[in-house]
Amino acid sequence: MRFPATDLAVDLPCVMGIVNVTPDSFSDGGLHADTDSAVAHGLLLASEGAAILDVGGESTRPGSEPVPVADELARVVPVIERLAAGAPAAISVDTTKAAVARAALDAGATIVNDVTSLRGDPDMAALVAERGCPVCLMHMLGEPRTMQVDPRYDDVVGEVVVFLEERMAAALSAGVRETQILLDPGIGFGKTLEHNLLLLAHLDRIAALGRPVVLGASRKRFIGALLGAEPRQRETGTVVTTVLGLARGAAVVRVHDVRSNAEALRVAQAVIEAGEAGRARGARGAGAAGTAGAAHRANVAGRAHEESAP
């Protein structure tokens, strides 16, 4: 499977492991809220197969409140410094604030993951353009505090596609290179169960925009609704979204449970590549058979002509 050219210093497809340095994330809030625990968790995720570690110091769960810049900096910068020095993975900072992104990049991060798609801070686009780092642009309806209050769309897939097209154009006009841009449909960010399922089913329409797609379905509420499971019991459901997402063009899967999703990604990728190779061989074989058939028919016709000649 081929993906668009990118400035990511990792091979695609890949797993992005989640490192929440927060007390209130929906799935693992408080488990890794101190620096030592967060670093240890990041190193574990890298050892399990995460090519990218996404470090965040502000929860974006439904109903969450903004975190002051100073608090976010104190949470993420020490973790990023240590992971950048010791983890065999690229480091992403999950933030909406240019000041936090700047400090994180100075500390060793190489990717900015902005759930506001460069709308939350007027200085973010210029910073990304100046640093030349990859940036993930995500769709979100409203803001985390209110996004799950009766989200409505006439055509969720079409509207998300148009939004991401517009945000990509805005990033390019701000000086961000196309090869820096990744796109995320924002599963769970202002979407109902049906909205999320439709986006997963039609993820290929996001991929058709020509940039690597980041899929963040891990442990999300819609999986819990389908399975009747609490967040930490949604690993199997998440693995299913990883496999389906890859088949529909996802290049990066952002997950809590790295090992199971990394293994699923490897197997699914092998199957997809085998299928592509088989189709290519079949096409070449059909072409060769067609050529041989044409030559045979021409030869038969030639002999018939010779036999009927006076």
Q: One of 211, 220, 234, 248 is an active-site residue; which one?
A: 220
3-class state of residue 90 by DSSP: strand
Question: Is residue 30 very low, low, confident or very high in pLDDT (cuts 50, 70, 90)?
Answer: low
CATH numbers and ranges of domains, the chain: 14-276 (3.20.20.20)
pLDDT value of residue 27: 58
Note the pLDDT of residue 304: 47
- The whole-chain average pLDDT of the chain stands at 90
Instruction: Identify the pLDDT of residue 300.
Output: 47
pLDDT level of residue 296 (50, 70, 90 thresholds): low
Omega before 13 within 30 of 0, i.e. cis: yes
Question: Is the pLDDT score of 306 beyond 80?
Answer: no
The residue-averaged pLDDT of 205-225 equals: 97
The tens digit of pLDDT for each residue in 148-183 reads 777 899 999 999 999 999 999 999 999 999 999 999
Say if residues 182 and 134 touch (Cβ distance below 8 Å).
Answer: yes
Of all residues in the chain, the percent with pLDDT exceeding 90 is: 77
Beta-bridged to residue 137, according to DSSP, are: 114, 183
Share in percent of the chain as helix, strand, coil (round to 5): 50, 10, 35
Mark out the alpha helices in 61-202 (DSSP H runs): 69-86, 98-107, 124-131, 156-173, 193-201
CA atoms of 107 and 264, how far apart (whole Å): 32
- Supply the pLDDT for residue 289: 55
Residue 153: phi and psi, rounded to 5, are -140, 150
Q: Determine the 3-state secondary structure of 63 from DSSP.
A: coil
Summarize pLDDT for 181-198 with one digit per residue, the tens: 999 999 999 999 999 999
- What pLDDT was estimated at residue 142? 78
- Is residue 90 classed exposed, middle or buried when 0-12, 13-18 and 19+ CB atoms within 10 A define those classes? buried
**Cis? peptide before 310, omega within 30° of 0:** no
Is 220 in the active site? yes
Q: What is the pLDDT of residue 19?
A: 96
3-state class (DSSP) for residue 205? helix
Q: What is the rounded CA–CA span in Å between residue 309 and residue 167?
A: 73
CB-based burial of residue 62 (10 Å sphere; 0-12 exposed, 13-18 middle, 19+ buried)? middle
Rounded to 5 degrees, φ, ψ at 138 are -120, 150
Question: pLDDT exceeding 70 applies to what percent of the chain?
Answer: 88
Q: What is the pLDDT of residue 299?
A: 59
Question: pLDDT: is 277 or 76 the higher one?
Answer: 76
For residue range 54-73, list pLDDT tens digits in order: 999 998 766 667 889 999 99
Paired tokens of 58: 């502000």
Residue 65's pLDDT is what? 75
Residues 97-141 have pLDDT tens digits of 999 999 999 999 999 999 999 999 999 999 999 999 999 999 998
Q: Pick the residue with more confidence: 38 or 284?
A: 38
**pLDDT score, position 24:** 58
pLDDT in the model for residue 148: 79
- Position 63 scores a pLDDT of 66
Q: Which one of 191, 211, 219, 254 is the catalytic residue?
A: 254
